[in-house]
């Protein structure tokens, strides 16, 4: 469906390295602001546990901590955005993760008459994220949390392919960063200060 009138949706890109706390904070933001939450990583894990063709394809692509292909992830996003076009807004967690994804995302949102409100990044040093992921790995059952090599590789992939996406939003004046170290509630309040400034 094509909607020609520009609609104000609160579309937030929640950014940060693996283990930065994106999922944890997205749950809280979702509740406070009445938004939807889409984690592309979780959507892929759901496909894997269903044993779907998409899940099998993604598992092969992500071996060792690599990214899934842009094509696969954009397919998930396009379907989600079209299905939820009348939402108040969406927190995108773990997407976009490459420049081609960021560029295509603008086109997908434009087709439903909206755009990205802003990106907010959680800044967390590598040693802290490694510690968080190793702790979670004891109970998460996530394959990519189990080995230190895979965790390091996820961080290397973030540095090489994903960090640059912040520049894309900086150039549009849509980038904000908060300190992602502290208690979950402290970090949440920092994020709320940013989101409140976008709501005004």
Q: Sign of the CA dihedral 135, 48, 151, 93?
A: negative
Measured distance CA(14)–CA(190) in Å, rounded:
13
- Rounded to an integer, what distance in angstroms lies between the CA atom of residue 150 and that of residue 155? 9
Q: Which residues contact 35 (CB under 8 A, 6 or more apart)?
A: 10, 12, 29, 87, 88, 89, 90, 91
Where in 181-200 is the site for ligand AP5 (CB under 6 A)? 183-184, 187
Smallest gap from residue 176 Cβ to ligand AP5 (A):
17
In whole angstroms, give the CA distance from residue 21 to residue 100.
Answer: 24
Site string for ligand AP5, 153-182 (x = CB under 6 A): -x----------------------------
Nearest CB to ligand AP5, comparing residues 118 and 137: 137
Q: Which helix or strand (DSSP H or E) is residue 38 part of?
A: strand 36-39
Write out the two tokens for 69. 């292909």
Instruction: Give the nearest distance from C-beta 135 to ligand AP5 in angstroms.
Output: 6
Strand order in the sheet with 89-93: 36-39, 89-93, 10-15, 118-123, 175-179
Interface of this chain with ligand AP5, residues 1 to 20, rule: CB under 6 A: 16, 18-20
* Distance between start and end Cα atoms, the chain: 29
Which one among 11, 12, 13, 21 touches ligand AP5, defined by CB under 6 A? 21
120 touches ligand AP5 (CB under 6 A): no
If one asks whether residue 182 binds Mg ion (CB under 5 A), the answer comes out as no
94: contact with ligand AP5 by CB under 6 A: yes
| Number of CB atoms found within 10 A of residue 131's CB | 12
Shortest reach from residue 141's CB to Mg ion, in Å? 14
Q: How far is the CB of 21 from Mg ion (least distance, A)?
A: 8
**Residue with Cβ nearer ligand AP5 (59 or 113):** 59
What length does the chain have? 200
Q: Which residues bind ligand AP5 (CB under 6 A)?
A: 16, 18-24, 39-42, 44, 62, 65, 67-68, 73, 94-97, 101, 132-133, 136, 144, 154, 183-184, 187
Q: Which residues bind Mg ion (CB under 5 A)?
A: 23
């Amino acid at each position: 469906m094509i909607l020609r009138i520009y609609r104000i949706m609160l579309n937030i890109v929640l950014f940060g390295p693996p283990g930065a706390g994106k999922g944890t904070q997205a749950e809280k933001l979702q509740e406070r602001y009445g938004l939807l939450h889409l984690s592309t990583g979780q959507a892929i894990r759901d496909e894997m546990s269903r044993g779907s063709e998409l899940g099998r394809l993604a598992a092969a692509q992500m071996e060792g901590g690599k990214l899934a292909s842009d094509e696969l992830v954009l397919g998930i996003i396009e379907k989600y955005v079209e299905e939820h076009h009348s939402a108040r807004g969406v927190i995108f967690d773990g997407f976009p993760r490459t420049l081609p994804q960021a560029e295509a995302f603008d086109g997908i949102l434009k087709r439903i008459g909206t755009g990205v409100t802003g990106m907010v990044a959680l800044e967390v040093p590598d040693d802290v994220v490694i510690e968080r992921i190793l702790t979670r790995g004891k109970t998460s059952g996530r394959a990519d949390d189990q080995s230190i090599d895979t965790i390091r590789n996820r961080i290397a992939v973030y540095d090489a392919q994903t960090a640059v996406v912040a520049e894309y939003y900086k150039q549009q004046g849509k980038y904000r960063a908060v300190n992602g170290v502290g208690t979950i509630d402290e970090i949440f309040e920092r994020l709320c200060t940013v989101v409140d400034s976008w709501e005004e």
